[in-house]
Chain A
Amino acid sequence: MDLLIPNSWLKKYLKTNASEKQIASCLTLCGPSVEKIKKTNDNDYIYSIEVTTNRVDTASILGIAREAAAILPRFKISASLKPYDLSEKNYKFVKKVKYLDVTVDSKLCPRFTAVLIKDIVVKESPQAIKLLLEKVGVRPINNIVDVSNYIMHELGQPVHTFDYDKLSLASSAGKISPPKMILRESKKGETITTLDGKEFKLDGGDIVIEDGSGELIDLCGIMGGENSVIDNNTKNVLLFVQNYNQHYIRKTSMILGQRTEAAILFEKGLDSENVKPTILSAISMIEKLSGGKAEKEILDIYSVSYKTKIISTNKEELDKIIGVEIPKKNIIKYMTSLGFEVKQQGVTLLFNVPSWRGNDIEIKEDIAEEIARIYGYHNLPCKLMEGVIPAPRINPEFVFEKKIKNTLQAFGAVEVYNLSLVSKEMVNENALKLKNPLGSDTEYLRTSLMPSLQNDILDNPQEKGFIHFFEIANIYPKEILTLAGIVKNEKYRENKGIVETLLENLDIDYTTKLEDGKSYLANQKMIVISDNKTIGEYGNLENGYFFYEFDIQKTINSKKISRKYKEIAKYPPQIEDLTLIVPEKTYIGDVIAQITNHQPLITKAELTDIYENNYTFNIQYQSEDHTLTDKEVEAIRTKILSNLKSKFGIVTKE
């Protein structure tokens, strides 16, 4: 969470000669990060500070002052926290008061305090107060509301005020009795209008206060009800300081989208011990600014008070975590400056955790963190680990993936990373669906990479020529790592060449089989088989693009071509071109297979030219043990041609 802290306000609690820059850089290194310093027209400085969620105790002027007082001395800059006086002795904290009849569910509200302040005059706040509020981004309203905001920023504890007379009217119903307040969980369907005029219908399970007649007067921890709001005619106020169950507040605030400053504080879990100084400060300030007079009895329903937490550890354990030795006296000094009490019992160090750190300090590692950060992370050396390197575990997937990517890049393909989340139209019926998608266009996990890749081509209307996109990503419902590519290019043989060259480069021993499939043109899809398992597919899609897809794991596990060295042939081949007249609807693949598969002495048969139905093949004849004679070649040729004629009706061109 982000805070604004004016330097002048900070100095109310912090005694130091440090410059604004020093305060900012020291805090950043050892505590809350100061993101920015802004100079104001009146020569003040405002720090923008990021506070982590576990350190809500620092989300206030006092909290930052406490940190600075502990941190600055490590940089040889003197600093201390100024004592602040709260005249507690004038008041009595009691469980029951005459002016209010309260029922509290302590699970929802661990500490509930309230006091009636009579005879106030609502007016503008003094200029100094208004100026400070403006510096922390709060719009001044009137002296009563301003005190709430002022105290919240100063002490980190939200404060609320009700118009006491509006409460009385709501519940006294003829009889003179104190107003009633029942703090409970909301019921589904209950409504409340908050003081910003918004009406909310509640889901149930929100912390609310009703007035006994069923009407809600407070959406606790978020915002008060409109029905009890302070206005210019308010004479008597009920000052209200509570701690609420953080999880309830978070839920309500998120569901209703009401991210008020109070809610953001409460949802982090506040220190119930801070409630008392807060109400005392607020009383004193309201009295001063409004002329009112507070009752001497303050209602305080505090079911479980803070029991000091003690963490036990020793110097050796702490040094081991930090990695350097820190003298015991420094450990004690750093921790004491942060409000911890440190006791020694032999080698054991006992750390008493202050109430405001009660939520975040649990174990010795937390203590080590406090010591190390005050010591300064920047003062620690950089050293690599000394232990042995773990035994190698090579995942073949990474190597394989890299080889595929490099090969395709060399082929001119462009890699894309498409969003794994797509619309219903882009998946099949087994798809995994999200419970809470951002929108219907990203509701499902992909079941194929094809639809996204098709869109990728459509996203590039400016590209008139060749496009080749590929992607390696998981598809679902089972997480299967898949390679897929799409090519915009009408030349089928070139496209098929991409796939075959890739497979060749990966040493895959495979065959192909014609098989129709969804989204492909009939008779234009091939499946790729290795070791009797289908590892992938390719072909022409209905929209005219060429597509290929492979299961990476299956491809890795497929049969590989032997890479064993083969002697270069000793005897030269005889090479000739044969032009054949091939009847229509003859699969050329079968023709080539017929030429090569049935004649061991034919080492190559390559289609080099097509003109109408004339197909020219470059044929290579070769023997391992002698140079073939013209006669031998002729015999082979004759045999092939007669086979081609009988099988396909193919004749040679005269």
Chain B
Amino acid sequence: MKEDIINIKNQAIAQISDVKSLDELEQIRIDLFGRSGKYKVASKEIKDLKNEEKRQAGIILNEVKNTLEELIQNKKNDLKIDTREWFDPTMPAKKIKLGRLHMVTQAIDEISSIFEKIGFTRVKYPEVEYDYYAFGALNFPDNHPARDDWETFFVDAPDSAKYGPMLLTPHTSSGQIREMLSSKPPIRMINIAKCYRRQIDASHYPMFHQFEGLVVDKNISIVNLRGTIDYFAKSFFGKNREIRLRPYHFQFTEPSFEVDISCNVCNGKGCKLCKEGWLEIGGAGMVHPKVLENCKIDSKIYSGFAFGWGVERTYMMKSGLSIPDIRLIYSSDLRVLEQL
């Protein structure tokens, strides 16, 4: 039995090596593995053997089958090379010309989708605003520097009797007031919009974008602000990043914080890019009770928190673009835009 199989194998090897055409090869394959082929016949004989012999024969049969099939396939490929059509898959690709969405659009999409997951609703409010919404209702004193001509753009239009001078909103925080006046708690808002300030240099452009979060409900505390910012930071920058709050000051929040995120370059050890292992993201705080009252929300029942950060800055911190001058973001040079 064993010898029979070895013979079949040796004979086949000799035949395959002599083959000259694909047809001839196919005939050898059929003679071996076809319904009444030599191999098939031999394999049927196994059933008459005893246990141990049966097992031995099985192993040999399998081995012979694998060897022969591989030989036939290799031979087939050898024969084909001479007859196949010429094709050059190394030709350079002709790529599809895709357009490009602006960096700010990409950032807004990413940011809003993170906040939507934890129940925030994206809203939008006017860019051309009134003093009341941008400052007054946000607890800015009358002579606060932000209300100066030096920091905020004012529109050459008559003042509103009720809302004061017309201006270009210098922050998305004006949206807090509009949101609280137009809806009741619970509020979870994310307002992403253009803002304007009278400043132009390598790190400031008179037009920029902010995203503003506002939560107002019963029992909202600093712990919730930390939770929300931590959720955002881990979703946006990566799960290994940590946040920290530092004491800060804003007119419309009390307490107020500056938010930092751990540096991903040095992993918090401190390097050239960061301050002792931390990078500054932006401001946050607990909504000032006067602001709640200005919006007809009872500060004895409700409390809230808010944060407002620069879209460009936050996105640049993540992307690793290292843009040397923020004005480049608002360039129309395709060579710049295509990299952002």
Contacts and interface: CB of A to CB of B under 8 A. Distances in A.
B244 A378 contact: yes
Contact of A436 (B198, B231, B249): B198
Given A384-B227, A384-B231, A414 B249 contact: no
A31 B247 contact: yes
A16 B148 CA distance: 42
Interface in B85-106: 97-102, 104-105
Contacts of B83: none
A459 B145 contact: no
A476 B153 CA distance: 15
Interface residues of B, number: 83
Interface residues of A, number: 89
Interface in B103-152: 104-105, 109, 112, 118-119, 121-124, 126-128, 143, 145, 148-150
Contacts of B248: 52
Contact of A455 (B97, B218, B332, B337): B332
Interface stretch (A38-46, A122-130, A392-400, A645-653): A392-400
A284 interface: no
B206 A421 contact: yes
Nearest to A453: B332
Given A28-B276, A434-B155, A54 B249 contact: yes
Interface string B304-334: 0000000000000000000000000111111
Given A390-B188, A413-B99, A469-B332, A373 B255 contact: yes
Contacts of B243: 382
B171 interface: no
B222 A323 contact: yes
| B168, B254, B286, B338 — most chain A CB neighbours (10 Å) | B254
B222 A377 contact: yes
Contact of B218 (A383, A387, A421): A387
A255 to B, nearest CB: 9
A79 to B, nearest CB: 18
Contacts of B303: 320-321
Nearest to A31: B247
A382 B222 contact: no
A324 B247 contact: no
B289 A363 contact: yes
B257 interface: yes
Contact of B228 (A247, A385, A413): A385
B231 A254 contact: no
| B124, B194, B224 — most chain A CB neighbours (10 Å) | B224
Contacts of A320: 219, 221, 303
A231 interface: no
A435 B149 contact: yes
Contacts of A522: none
B254 A435 contact: no
A361 B55 CA distance: 92
A321 B155 contact: no
Interface in A106-130: none
Nearest 4 CB-CB pairs, A to B?
Answer: A323-B221, A323-B223, A369-B255, A389-B119
28 contacts: A33-B246, A321-B255, A321-B303, A323-B223, A363-B289, A365-B288, A373-B247, A373-B255, A380-B222, A380-B226, A381-B227, A382-B229, A384-B227, A393-B123, A394-B121, A397-B124, A409-B99, A410-B98, A412-B98, A414-B337, A420-B127, A420-B196, A438-B198, A442-B206, A460-B333, A463-B334, A468-B99, A476-B128
Given A414-B334, A445-B155, 9 more contacts: A324-B223, A382-B243, A383-B223, A385-B224, A409-B101, A418-B332, A432-B128, A434-B156, A474-B194
